[in-house]
């Protein structure tokens, strides 16, 4: 500590005292978390996170290993640290992986009343992350591209999303959520045909020249001269005004690219599929979700109910054979909903619950008694559908558990998000014979509020003291 023995700090009165000694990873700079300092220390095989709070002069600081409750859970590859004091949040980064580790707490001014560790898995590889103005900005890398994502920390998800032409407002529970965007460099119209000589009617004829690649055409001829040309495969990388040469014949027929406008949502009536183009390259062989939202023009009008807001379908990554251009594909015709489509990757929410024991009071838990859990009741806040999975001790297989809930309803053609709801999950097992977890991979919010269990507790004639 840098201080002074007198009332005035001068070069002659300055004193440097050692008040604590802890190992700190020099590659990760300690950061200020309001009234404390957070720093990372690494040991063989894992990392530790400490907070340090100074007290009075010449008193040892208060140092807490807040990662003790998740010992050996933080990997030794942790290489980044960012915080948000106003949101009581400390975030650890593991660059070159997809994971971020979060510690969040609530302090009443004297102690932490609530605290929790969470692990986030991002769609791509995390390159950097910073918390700015209650938002987490993440730079991630995938498929040779870099993406800047924004996660709002304190926004309450309502499930209501309104789509504008190129953006949307609201909080869909989707990673890398985006409105469809027309692909660039893909020809949609050809004109100014120079017919050439020696050609015949043909399909999928290759072309050369221009700034792009992959364009093939279907030709109609008369006396060896091309009279009409239609796009067979559009190719990619072209610009308006490109003059390309049609192969075959005398090699002297040309056509000009006059338009690159292709709709961001295209229906394939032969296969009954809808193609959806997005501004980034979709992950190879990873499923996404298409979510229907309310277009801006339909808000507070009779057309709002026809938007079918809240409907979602699985979107599959596909690659065009010739151009290699990737897009999303959804079964059915959704071109009428193009002005309200949002596409993204679903959150995989998962919370595995600890074993249940009977607690006689705040400080005494009975681990030796016989306890049979009959059912578990979950109260959720603003949430959509919730899934429950059960696994017998010693098994590697999780089984879906059907919950029971009071009969209820929500408005048709709207988001199925309830303000509050209770789920009752039947168990009928000894507390040591099962594991239970709550999951959700749907594009709706998920908010666990409380949980309680009912069962049969037997102390087995032991007297507890």
Residues 58 and 86 in one domain: yes
Residues 46 and 117 in one domain: yes
Position 33 in a domain = yes
Domain count, the chain: 4
Position 6 in a domain = no
Residues 311 and 201 in one domain: no
Q: Please give the residue range of the domain that contains residue 380.
A: 350-458
Residues 244 and 281 in one domain: no
- pLDDT score of 1 more than 60: no
- Looking at residue 455, its pLDDT comes to 92
- The mean pLDDT value for 381-387 works out to 84
- Looking at residue 150, its pLDDT comes to 87
Position 439 in a domain = yes
Residues 297 and 355 in one domain: no
Q: Residue 405's closest CA among 426, 389, 391, 419?
A: 426
- Looking at residue 255, its pLDDT comes to 93
Q: Where does a domain end: 231, 259, 287?
A: 259
Reported as a pLDDT band with limits 50, 70 and 90, residue 5 is: low
Q: Where does a domain end: 259, 281, 311?
A: 259
Position 173 in a domain = no
- pLDDT score of 6 more than 70: no
Lookup result for tokens 């300092």: 37
Position 160 in a domain = no
- Looking at residue 322, its pLDDT comes to 61
Residues 22 and 149 in one domain: yes
Whole-number Å distance between alpha carbons of 50 and 36: 10
The SS3 assignment for 1 reads coil
- Looking at residue 406, its pLDDT comes to 55
Position 161 in a domain = no
- Looking at residue 394, its pLDDT comes to 80
- The mean pLDDT value for 211-232 works out to 90
Residues 102 and 64 in one domain: yes
Residues 58 and 137 in one domain: yes
Measured CA to CA in angstroms, residue 93 lies from 104, 115, 302 at distances of: 15, 19, 47
Residues 255 and 197 in one domain: yes
Q: Which is more confidently placed, 97 or 111?
A: 97
Residues 247 and 301 in one domain: no
- Looking at residue 276, its pLDDT comes to 93
Reported as a pLDDT band with limits 50, 70 and 90, residue 417 is: confident
Computed over its alpha carbons, how large is the radius of gyration of the chain?
30
Position 324 in a domain = yes
Q: What is the pLDDT of residues 111-149, one digit of tens each?
A: 788 888 999 999 889 999 999 888 899 999 988 889 998
Residues 140 and 59 in one domain: yes
Whole-number Å distance between alpha carbons of 294 and 305: 9
First to last CA, the chain: 48
Task: Return the structure tokens found at 333.
Answer: 């015709």
């Amino acid at each position: 500590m840098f201080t002074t023995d007198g009332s005035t700090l001068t070069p002659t009165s300055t004193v440097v005292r050692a008040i604590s000694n802890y190992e700190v990873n020099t590659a990760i700079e300690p950061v200020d978390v309001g009234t404390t300092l957070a720093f990372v220390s690494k040991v063989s095989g894992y990392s530790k996170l400490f907070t340090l709070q100074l007290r009075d002069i010449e008193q040892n600081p208060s140092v807490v290993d807040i990662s003790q409750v998740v010992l050996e859970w933080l990997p030794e590859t942790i290489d980044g640290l960012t915080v948000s004091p106003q949101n009581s949040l400390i975030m650890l980064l593991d660059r070159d992986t997809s994971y971020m580790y979060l510690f969040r707490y609530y302090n009443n001014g004297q102690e932490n009343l609530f605290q929790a560790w969470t692990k986030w898995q991002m769609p791509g590889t995390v390159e950097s992350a910073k918390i700015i103005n209650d938002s987490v900005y993440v730079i991630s890398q995938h498929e040779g591209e870099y993406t800047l994502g924004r996660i709002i920390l304190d926004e309450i998800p309502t499930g209501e999303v309104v789509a504008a032409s190129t953006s949307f407002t609201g909080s869909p529970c989707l990673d890398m959520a985006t409105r469809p965007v027309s692909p660039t460099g893909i020809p949609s119209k050809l004109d100014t045909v120079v017919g050439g000589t020696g050609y015949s009617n043909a399909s999928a004829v290759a072309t050369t020249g221009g700034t792009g690649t992959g364009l093939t055409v279907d030709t109609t001829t008369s006396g060896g001269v091309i009279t009409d040309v239609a796009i067979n495969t559009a190719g990619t990388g072209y610009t308006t005004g490109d003059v390309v040469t049609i192969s075959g014949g005398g090699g002297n027929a040309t056509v000009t690219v006059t338009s690159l406008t292709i709709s961001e949502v295209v229906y394939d009536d032969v296969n009954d599929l809808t193609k959806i183009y997005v501004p980034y390259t979709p992950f190879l062989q990873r499923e996404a979700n298409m979510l229907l939202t309310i277009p801006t023009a339909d808000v507070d009008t009779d057309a709002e109910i026809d938007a079918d807001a809240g409907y979602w379908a699985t979107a599959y990554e596909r690659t065009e054979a010739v151009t290699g251009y990737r897009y999303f594909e959804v079964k059915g015709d959704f071109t009428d909903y193009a002005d309200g489509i949002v596409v993204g990757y679903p959150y995989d929410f998962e919370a595995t619950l600890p074993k249940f024991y009977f607690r006689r009071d705040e400080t005494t838990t009975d681990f030796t008694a016989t306890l049979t859990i009959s059912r578990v009741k979950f109260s959720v806040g603003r949430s959509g559908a919730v899934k429950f999975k059960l696994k017998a001790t010693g098994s590697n297989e999780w089984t879906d558990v059907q919950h029971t809930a009071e009969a209820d309803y929500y408005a048709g053609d709207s988001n199925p998000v309830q303000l509050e709801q209770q789920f009752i999950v039947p168990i009928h097992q000894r507390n040591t014979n099962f594991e239970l977890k709550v999951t959700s991979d749907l594009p709706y919010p998920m908010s666990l509020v409380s949980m309680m269990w009912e069962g049969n507790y037997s102390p087995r004639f032991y007297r507890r003291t």
